[in-house]
Amino acid sequence: MKIRTKVTLWYTALLAVLLAAVLAFLLRVGGKLALSGSESVLRSVTEEMAGEVELENGAVETDDDFRSTSRGVFIAVFYQSKLAAGQVPEDLGRLPDFAAGTLRTAGAYLVYDLAGEDGLAVRGFFARESTAESQRGITLAALAAAPVLLLIAALGGLAITGRAFRPIEEIARTAAQIGAGRDLSRRIELPDTRDEVSALGGAFNGMMDRLERSFAAEKQFSSDVSHELRTPVAVIQSQCEYALAGGAEGDVRRALLEIRSRTGEMAVLIARLLELSRAENRTAEVVLEPVELSELAETVTEELAPQAEQKRITLRLCAPEPVTVRGEQTLILRLMLNLAGNAVRYTPEGGEVTLSVSGGKDGAVLAVRDNGIGIPQEHLDKIFNRFYRVDASRHRDGDGGSFGLGLALCKWIADVHGASISVRSAPGRGSEFTVKFPAWPPDGASPGDSGGNGA
Ligand code: ADP
């Protein structure tokens, strides 16, 4: 469960409990207060009116200030058990027995009896309904207001925590994208809240600035170094040829041959390194156009046929129909050549290598499968790193083309195409490299709608 949901649930539940407690308290205390209020009104009105009544010559006289109803209280004056002044509420029902000085309930009324002089009886009646009604009104209002209050509190809290957590969600998303090998130039957009979360986002952006700079410097460094090494290596090579042509003999000749072979390897390494760093440095310029994968796979199979034939490896192509992706042809060709070249290189004589291309609604899939030496599990997540080789003993001495740079380039090519590259392998059984390209053209669009822009 998300933190914001947990926090919102927690304080909404707490608020609900608090509201219920306050409401219960109000109802209890409020009910009592309302009752004692009604009782004191009944008492005071009855006592006041009793003062306005007197008996004169056997007849009941009332002063001008006498009222038969006042502040909700009905006043009835009895003389010799007969109603002599005021009124009894019509809905009272049976008149309760007279009990001077007591306050009690009778049906729907509170009754207060006072004994006047010479057999006069003054009785006050106050409708209990009016007390209960005002109380019910308060209860209903509180019951209606409570859910609204809870809803406002919950929505307000969700909105505030949502805003506060948005940068964190974005940090997670950005970090995941960077982790997936995408764009190092991505930053988090920071709301101007100056709180802890925006400080975290700021720190993250700062870290990304430094990372991006150091990655760029590292790329530039390998590009510069390989560029600078090209000339001296070429000079060594030509001097070596010159010395050999001059007719060197014996140990000197052997040494020169060794130097020529090693500088040859060095020249290939430098060329590969330069290719990779140039590729990585030109991310912004990659132009994506419709590319036909099956045709490229056919070209690659033809190109590798002599190499495969030499090792008596059966090279198969399984690309039954045209499959189009958005990409740069030379880069995709390089990717296929690297994968298929590795498959041929790491498969012993008599083995099989299959290139397959298939298309579907979810995108195109290129798979290169072999039944060669395979890759142990613990190396699988590292083989796409630069200079990573599973183990040196797999490589024949003088295997000039093996520097652990091929798959790094493949990974980069897959990334700029928005494709994913993965591998499944078992030592002694073989390997399968799979590249999944995003669907193209996007649903509903015609191939002419899109394409052309950089990755
Ligand atoms: P290299 O130039 O050394 O082949 P790569 O980057 O292409 O460099 O490959 C890295 C490592 O992954 C290789 O050294 C090799 O051990 C292993 N590898 C790559 N492809 C295969 C394959 N099809 N079968 C077995 N091992 C492979």
List per-residue pLDDT tens for the chain, 455 residues long: 788 889 899 999 999 999 999 888 888 887 788 788 889 999 999 999 998 988 888 888 889 899 999 988 999 999 988 898 999 988 888 888 888 899 998 888 999 999 877 788 999 999 887 777 777 787 888 888 889 999 999 999 999 888 878 878 888 888 887 776 667 787 877 777 788 878 888 898 899 899 889 988 888 888 888 889 999 999 999 999 999 998 888 999 999 999 999 999 999 999 988 888 888 777 557 788 999 999 999 999 999 999 999 999 999 999 999 999 999 999 999 999 999 999 999 999 999 999 999 998 889 999 999 999 999 999 999 999 988 888 766 665 445 567 888 999 999 999 889 899 999 999 999 999 999 999 877 664 544 444 444 43
DSSP 287-306: B-EEEEHHHHHHHHHHHHHH
Backbone angles phi, psi at 162, to 5 degrees: -60, -45
Using DSSP bridges, classify how beta strands 324-327 and 289-292 pair: parallel, antiparallel or unpaired: antiparallel
Classify strands 59-62 and 53-56 as parallel, antiparallel or unpaired. antiparallel
CA dihedral sign, ordered 191, 197, 203, 205: negative
What is the Å distance from ligand 1's center to 273 Cα?
16
Architecture of the domain spanning 196-280: Orthogonal Bundle (1.10)
Please give the C-alpha separations between residue 115 and each of 40, 77, 100, 269, in angstroms, as whole numbers: 18, 10, 5, 122
SS3 (DSSP) at 403: coil
Buried b (16+ CB within 10 A) or exposed e, 384-408: bebeebbeeeebeeeeeebbbbbbb
* Tokens standing for residue 20: 């219920």
Determine how many CB atoms are found less than 10 A away from the CB of residue 297. Answer: 23
Give the closest residue (by CA) to ligand 1 atom 16.
Answer: 390
Q: State if residue 403 touches ligand 1 by the CB under 6 angstroms criterion.
A: yes
Q: How far apart are CA 105 and CA 32, in angstroms?
A: 15
Query: Residue 450 has what pLDDT?
Result: 42
- Ligand 1 within 6 A of 406 CB? yes
Mapping DSSP to helix (H, G, I), strand (E, B) and coil, where does residue 355 land?
strand
Q: What is the dihedral of CA 409, 413, 418, 421, to 10 degrees?
A: -50
Nearest-atom index, ligand 1, CA of 401: 2
Q: List all residues 6 or more positions away from 402 whose beta carbon is below 8 Å from its beta carbon.
A: 345, 389, 395
What is the spatial distance between Cα 15 and Cα 2, in angstroms, rounded to a whole number? 20
Q: Which two tokens stand for residue 74?
A: 């009905």
Q: What pLDDT, on the 0 to 100 scale, is given for residue 201?
A: 83
Query: 362 vs 347, 365, 418, CA distance in Å?
Result: 31, 9, 13
What distance in Å separates the CA atoms of residue 286 and residue 452, rounded to the nearest whole number? Answer: 9
In whole angstroms, give the CA distance from residue 9 to residue 154.
8
394, two tokens? 């797999």
At 334 the three-state DSSP class reads helix
Identify the residue whose C-alpha is closest to ligand 1 atom 21.
342
370 pocket-lining for ligand 1 (C-beta < 6 Å): yes
Contact yes or no for 289/326 (Cβ under 8 A):
yes
Give dist(CA 203, CA 192) in Å, integer. Answer: 14
| 255-275 residues labelled b (16+ CB within 10 A) or e (exposed) | ebeebbeebeebbebbebbbe
Question: At 93, is the secondary structure helix, strand, or coil?
Answer: coil
- C-alpha 383 to ligand 1 mean position (Å): 7
> Is the CB of 264 inside a 6 Å radius of any atom of ligand 1?
no
- pLDDT recorded at residue 111: 94
- Rounded CA-CA distance 404/389 in Å is 5
The protein residue with its alpha carbon nearest to ligand 1, atom 7, reads 406
> 286-454 adopts what CATH topology?
Heat Shock Protein 90 (3.30.565)
Provide CB contacts within 8 A for 144, sequence distance 6+: none
- Whole-angstrom Cα distance, residue 320 to residue 299? 15
Q: Which long-range contacts (CB under 8 A, 24 or more apart) does 383-391 make?
A: 383/407, 383/423, 384/408, 384/410, 384/411, 384/421, 386/276
390 lines ligand 1 (CB under 6 A): yes
Per-residue confidence (pLDDT) for residue 334, from 0 to 100: 94
Is this structure's pTM higher than 0.85? no
Element (H, E) at 148: helix 128-179
342 lines ligand 1 (CB under 6 A): yes
Q: From atom 25 of ligand 1, which residue's Cα is the shortest distance away?
A: 374
Q: What residue's CA is closest to ligand 1, atom 14?
A: 389
What's the angle, vertex CA 275, arms to CA 416 and CA 302, rounded to 5? 80
Beta-bridged to residue 366, according to DSSP, are 357, 435
Dist CA 449 CA 32 (whole Å)? 78
Strands 352-360 and 314-318: what pairing?
parallel
pLDDT of residue 452: 41
